[in-house]
Amino acid sequence: MKEAFVVNAPVGFDWRGWIERWDRMQERYIPFRGERMTLMVELIRRTQETPKRVVDLGCGPGSLMHAILEALPDTQVIGVDFDPTLLGLARKRLEAFGQRVALLQADLRSPHWSDRIDGPCGAVVSATSLHWLSESQLASLYGRIGRLLIPGGIFLNADHVGSVIPAVQRFWGDRRSAMLDRADPNVDDWKGFWRRVGEALGLDTDALHREIIGDWSGVEEGLPLSWHFERLGESGFGAVDCFWRSGGDAIYGGLRGDG
């Protein structure tokens, strides 16, 4: 699998510095981010031992990929993302892992991205990415994930999940707002990070995202776990579960059935 994306960075572009700024920005919104990644790696290990291949959907600059590659030294990890800037950061972060890493620029809304994955996978993971998709897009994606996994393979998604009780959803939203109010003002927020990295690269990242993403159609607060469990069951997952939860954030997924 050959990389098919290009990032034209100026001489002296501080790749490592921008990777660190991304991580700090993410921790501004997800203070338990490290705990989630550790748990996801251990769930892969406990259910799959040493999978031959793991796919990270919406991999960004490779934070979760790095954790998996370090913990599972005999596993290849394939990262999929639509954004060439993030894939460029991932390439720099993961360069020490050599041929164990593959990076693929693709739109998860397309029905064809999974055709570019070489062979079945023991695990498919994602973190804080899939809530960008609409209900129909996400349901279709679950079907493609089910077909990509080996029988007994695991899917894990760490993302926003909604509540079916409006008062509870409001409470989670209020708690999240209070957390952001306490955030370090010296740490980039989402828009600030993209504006500044765009300036450093000489790119209009806002225009690039509008071109690539189009009209955003997801649900920011996420869909209820019951919805995910139903769609996963329809996609061939014989066992589904919520593995961790803190308010409106959760790790959920399941094991593909034997059929």
| Residue 5 resides in a domain | no
- Enter the pTM of the model: 0.92
pLDDT in tens, the chain (259 residues): 555 566 777 778 899 999 999 999 999 998 899 999 999 999 999 999 899 999 999 999 999 999 999 999 999 999 999 999 999 999 999 999 999 999 999 999 998 999 999 889 999 999 999 998 999 999 999 999 999 999 999 999 999 999 999 999 999 999 988 988 888 888 899 889 988 988 898 877 666 666 555 555 667 788 999 999 999 999 999 999 999 999 999 999 999 998 5
Residue 3 lies in a domain: no
Residue ranges making up the domain that contains 171: 15-256
Tally of domains within the chain: 1
Question: 90 lies in a domain?
Answer: yes
- Note whether residue 7 is domain-resident: no
Q: Of the candidates 146, 164, 169, which has an alpha carbon nearest to the alpha carbon of residue 240?
A: 146
Q: Select from 196, 185, 191 the least CA-distant residue to 17.
A: 196
Residue 1 lies in a domain: no
- In-domain check, residue 6: no
74 in a structural domain = yes
Q: How far is CA 194 from CA 11, 124, 206, 252, in A?
A: 19, 27, 8, 29
Whether residue 238 lies inside any domain: the answer is: yes
Q: CB of 68 within 8 A of CB of 59? A: no
What CATH number is associated with residue 73?
Answer: 3.40.50.150
